[in-house]
Structure 1
């Protein structure tokens, strides 16, 4: 007679995530992301941002930028910058002219529409400024629920438009990409996997009183975009086309990619795609106090508001754990100084930059394919190089 013993009960191993659940991670890795960031319209539903009838080519006066920048005790060349920071597109305007243009990315070129990630946030801010001037949005101190009743009962119920613009809503956790169940990862999975982006945002917890501290938040800008759409009764893509893109003299249509889940929605904090030259036109708009093609497209006071804030928690070096020490924040733009004519920049993960220096009359667009979403070392090096380029032209005036 054979004796039997009871088998020990081992916990069942967790089921590994499927490709569908991990697609965000896979598509963002090198070297795949060089293709991904130039072909988002092949991967996701999209909505067109029409450029309109007026096309105004940028004057082209190429120069060889034979200069170096100082970083970590060494002088480095721009070739080193591009290699070390995975540049895919690099464009420099001075006095509104293209003086340097380079596309080291395998799939990049002048007509390539690049995935801009959170540069989209700064564009959303410009659209909010236009909507305020038109009266579609009544006041920056209006509440989210004045426009979106579906946020009654959520942590965003008493949040104002002003708090969304400064990312001081006090809602949501620290935006980190390497924690599987963080808010931003659940947001990413919902956008790409067919889940409800609305429910992910509605479930965000309150973590601080409104207006008290800065916490970088794609959720805040997503709601800002939804407020804009509700107030204007237009999609963000249609509003961008009609109120801004067609006035820039853009060379190509842009597009937003949309969530897979229905109702499909653009990601106002991260899904705009456009050519580097057309992104540079936004920088020119900022240098010219909101004027493009002889028309006041964005209110001048809104542009100036984007160059710096008087809120102490938004000053350079005071942003806390969700901002690098060399940045401040204002109106969905990253600031680099305290004066109204200091440089400021729009930023996107994986190394996207729209750098604007009004005093030097310089605009620089850098698109990249970093292996990770955030990288403080690559960011500091990039800013050192962009400052050096702007200073070069400022000193040559």
Structure 2
């Protein structure tokens, strides 16, 4: 992405946090559609480009089957960016830069007064429940997502796109997956902190987790250029595994609190029926719920994952202290079959590590 779009760097710290390594996945297999399969088969079947597994902070598996992929490759993470934005929001709230998740969006963004975002709170946007109509259709050139994408890539005005969206429902009561909700959250964060998303990400997150490599956000072509809080973060697999480890450890690394534990706990689910696993709507796989810009997972473990289109995952199971990062190159933005197989494989992988820990 840095070859085709303007970017802003998120610099790595001088000293990276080491990830001890001990390969332990040679005997792992998973079952899907009545067949027993290996990780190598998962990678072929689901077009994996990069893959890393942490168990109790140890790198127990790592592969880069994708063309041009390596431990130093920065991958376009698509909507995994949303989960990073959520982390930054939690930090800003703890610092007092952000007053409350109950604050109205327009108290930070006066330019959205009179739009459909005049009414929803920060909390509403965190749960994709703004009530603003936005059609996240990646194939329809007339959809509101296509308008958003054209504004990003062809020097249009994102603000004009956001202001043009109509109200579809009352805020807080209905789930509607929306990259624009996350974009507005990013703008709220920038307004509250007085810093760009990349600068704040470096200061409060990247420098504290001991990242190995610089990350970056790509920016809109049009000026004023802006990072996308919902989809322009690029980073290495190992550094995203460090983010996952932070989440698995309740927001703390090596005794240093970075994200409030109460904020991380929100990622595991909130008591709102319309966000429960299986309740998100007919077009969302029934093994997912949603909370705080993360996808919640079925079962009693209360694990959660960030997801990006074309097969990007940041899977976090705090109970087992397991983190899995999977980057992929699906030929379509969404694929129910590849997603279902990935979920089956990663769930089985957690169980395997618990049994062989």
State the TM-score bracket (shorter-chain normalisation): over 0.9
Shift of 1:63: 2.8
| 1:145 matches 2:93 | no
| 1:120 matches 2:81 | yes
Shift of 1:323: 2.4
Shift of 1:253: 1.0
Shift of 1:315: 0.6
- Cα distance in 2 for residues equivalent to 1:103 and 1:253: 19
- Per the alignment, residue 60 of structure 1 pairs with 21
Distance 1:171 1:338, change over 3 A: farther
Alignment of 1:209-228 (within 5 A): 209-228=170-189
- Per the alignment, residue 178 of structure 1 pairs with 139
Shift of 1:322: 4.8
| 1:352 matches 2:328 | no
Distance 1:47 1:154, change over 3 A: same
Deviates more, 1:115-124 or 1:169-178: 169-178
Shift of 1:364: 0.4
1:168-191 Cα deviation digits (max 9, x unpaired)? 001123311111111111111111
Gapped runs of 5+ residues in structure 1? 1-39
- Per the alignment, residue 378 of structure 1 pairs with 338
- Cα distance in 1 for residues equivalent to 2:284 and 2:160: 26
Alignment of 1:127-166 (within 5 A): 127-166=88-127
Match of 2:214 among 249, 253, 263: 253
- Give the secondary structure class of the aligned counterpart of 1:244: helix
- Per the alignment, residue 391 of structure 1 pairs with 351
Q: Is the 8 A contact 1:155 1:171 kept in 2?
A: yes
1:58-99 Cα deviation digits (max 9, x unpaired)? 001123433222222222222221111110001111111111
Q: Is the 8 A contact 2:134 2:180 kept in 1?
A: no
Q: Is the 8 A contact 2:249 2:321 kept in 1?
A: no
- Cα distance in 2 for residues equivalent to 1:245 and 1:48: 11
- Cα distance in 2 for residues equivalent to 1:83 and 1:201: 39
- Cα distance in 1 for residues equivalent to 2:110 and 2:256: 35
- Cα distance in 2 for residues equivalent to 1:258 and 1:115: 13
Alignment of 1:358-373 (within 5 A): 358-373=318-333
- Cα distance in 2 for residues equivalent to 1:72 and 1:174: 32
Larger radius of gyration: 1
- Cα distance in 2 for residues equivalent to 1:101 and 1:151: 44
TM-score, normalised with respect to structure 1: 0.88
- Cα distance in 2 for residues equivalent to 1:266 and 1:244: 16
Alignment of 1:33-48 (within 5 A): 40-48=1-9
Instruction: Give RMSD over aligned pairs.
Output: 1.2
- Cα distance in 1 for residues equivalent to 2:236 and 2:20: 16
TM-score, normalised with respect to structure 2: 0.98
Q: Is the 8 A contact 1:249 1:293 kept in 2?
A: no
1:25-55 Cα deviation digits (max 9, x unpaired)? xxxxxxxxxxxxxxx1111100011122231
- Give the secondary structure class of the aligned counterpart of 1:356: strand
1:242-261 Cα deviation digits (max 9, x unpaired)? 01110101101110000111
Match of 1:286 among 239, 247, 268: 247
Gapped runs of 5+ residues in structure 2? none
1:362-393 Cα deviation digits (max 9, x unpaired)? 10000000001111111111111011111101
Shift of 1:321: 3.6
Match of 2:37 among 73, 76, 97: 76
Distance 1:322 1:122, change over 3 A: farther
- Give the secondary structure class of the aligned counterpart of 2:169: coil
Match of 2:302 among 323, 327, 342: 342
Shift of 1:338: 6.1
